[in-house]
Amino acid sequence: MNVYDSARMQDVLAPLGYAPTERAEDADMVILNTCHIRENASEKVFSELGRLRPLKQARPGMIFAVAGCVAQAEGPEIVARAPFVDIVMGPQTYHRLPEMVARAARAAGAVIETEFPAESKFDHLPDSAAPAISAFLTIQEGCDKFCSFCVVPYTRGAEASRPMAAVLAEARQLVAGGAREIVLLGQNVNAWHGDAGGLGRLVRELAEIPDLLRIRYTTSHPRDMDDDLIAAHRDVPALVPFLHLPVQSGSDRVLAAMNRGHTADHYRRLVDRLRAARRDLALSTDIIAGHPGETEADHQATLALIRDIGFAQAFSFKYSPRPGTPAAAARQIAEVEKDRRLAEIQGLLRDQQHVFNRACAGKMVKVLFTGPGRHPGQVAGRSPWLQPVHMTGPASLIGTETTVRIAEGHPNSLAAEPLPQTEELACA
């Protein structure tokens, strides 16, 4: 979502004459768009500000801005620790950037915009200037789940869904600009509800757009995976057979402490239903190691769930206390123990990912090529299961969905070779 928000900031600033530059040293404005989900992320903001400060000292006219969730949560602290910052803006206010830039030129101190405005920012954003072959599209923001470890409800606000008509209009504009895959985004994306139904209905409407080849969505919550969305995985070919479905823990006791609202067996049954709907469906997930109160038995339950499900990809982290969340006030687990548990979790997840990738070798797979590869003469893209794919081939493949043969499955990517025919097999 930060990638999407950053692109929209560029769109908002373009009428003022701003264009992206590769080096901060060449910039007239530097914006740090931030995440507050983990402690390390927010500390990196202050580290980066310290690194950039000499640029401001050398060129006082430069504008420095901090955007996103760290700005929302820690606006006063940012100004106190980095008084050279000119603009601090929350994730719901960046449509006001032109106004903030004008105010910053006049203000004696920082311009701070961290309120939740009454109007939706999406009503004031211009059309996207440079859609990509795989384009992000935010359809939902905020979260009402209040997991004990998570700061999102406090930084992004309550769940809010964009109207279906607005989503479809932006999707059509992205496809007209060259997008062939749309990734629907939301803090809790499958909680999206328009005036005509839920995410399953929206997926069906999007699939009717000519030249839109693929639809993805992230990040979802098990509690909002309804029957219609599961059916969409069965019925809509454009909806890719890959789902990011965070579980966080395999222990019912820890899931209750996290306020997740589901059990480990509920998650297992949900996965069974999804795989029954789409045989080649692959899953990724999020896992937290060392949530306050987690015992060794709880940790082993998480390892057992990972073995039971079998994930193609996953994101796993040590628990990170976030100020103001209930878990931050609970008794914390020693860092050395969190490190050990995370290492065990990540080792198992890496093995599962490598097994899944190796199983693709020899199969015929449709790849959406999105750009040049890392080496001359290569093109790169993604499989339906989000694996990076590299192949020697002409640049004319970029923007196409082409069936190729997977030559090798590496731990983190696939190597492909051209295929003269168009046979297609599943890689599950």
Residue 357's pLDDT is 98
Residue 331 pLDDT more than 80? yes
Mean pLDDT of 51-76: 90
pLDDT tens track for 284-304 = 999 999 999 999 999 999 999
Strands, DSSP E only, in 39-188? 63-68, 87-89, 111-113, 134-138, 140-141, 160-161, 181-185
pLDDT tens track for 219-277 = 999 999 999 999 999 999 999 999 999 999 999 999 999 999 999 999 999 999 999 99
Lowest mean pLDDT among 41-50, 331-340, 352-361, 414-423: 414-423
Residue 119's pLDDT is 59
Q: How confident is the model at residue 43 (pLDDT cuts 50, 70, 90)?
A: confident
Instruction: Read off the tokens for 396.
Output: 């004319």
Compute the mean pLDDT over every residue in the chain, rounded to the nearest whole number. 92
Residue 423 pLDDT more than 60? no
pLDDT tens track for 100-109 = 999 998 877 8
Residue 425 pLDDT more than 60? no
Q: How confident is the model at residue 66 (pLDDT cuts 50, 70, 90)?
A: very high
Residue 31 pLDDT more than 70? yes
Report the SS3 class of residue 51.
helix
Strand arrangement of the beta sheet that strand 111-113 belongs to: 29-34, 63-68, 87-89, 111-113
pLDDT above 90: percentage of residues in the chain: 77
Residue 130's pLDDT is 64
CA angle, 24 then 27 then 30, to 5°:
70
pLDDT tens track for 167-184 = 999 999 999 999 999 999
Report all structural domains of the chain as residue ranges with CATH numbers, in order of start. Answer: 2-113 (3.40.50.12160), 121-358 (3.80.30.20), 364-418 (2.40.50.140)
**Which position has the higher pLDDT, 318 or 42?**
318
Residue 115's pLDDT is 80
Residue 269's pLDDT is 98
**Which position has the higher pLDDT, 42 or 368?**
368
The shares of helix, strand and coil residues in the chain, as percent rounded to the nearest 5, are 40, 20, 40
Residue 221's pLDDT is 97
Instruction: Read off the tokens for 364.
Output: 């015929």
Residue 121's pLDDT is 67
This prediction has a pTM of 0.84
Mean pLDDT of 94-102: 91
pLDDT tens track for 123-175 = 767 766 667 999 999 999 999 999 999 988 888 888 999 999 999 999 999 99
pLDDT tens track for 71-90 = 888 888 899 999 999 999 98
Q: What φ, ψ does residue 308 adopt, rounded to 5°? A: -65, -40
What whole-number distance in Å separates Cα of residue 67 and Cα of residue 9? 10
What whole-number distance in Å separates Cα of residue 415 and Cα of residue 339? 33
pLDDT tens track for 355-378 = 999 999 999 999 999 999 999 999
Residue 2's pLDDT is 84
Mean pLDDT of 175-204: 95
Mean pLDDT of 297-323: 96
pLDDT above 70: percentage of residues in the chain: 95
Residue 427's pLDDT is 54
Residue 118's pLDDT is 54
Mean pLDDT of 195-212: 95
Burial level of 17, CB count in 10 A (0-12/13-18/19+)?
A: exposed
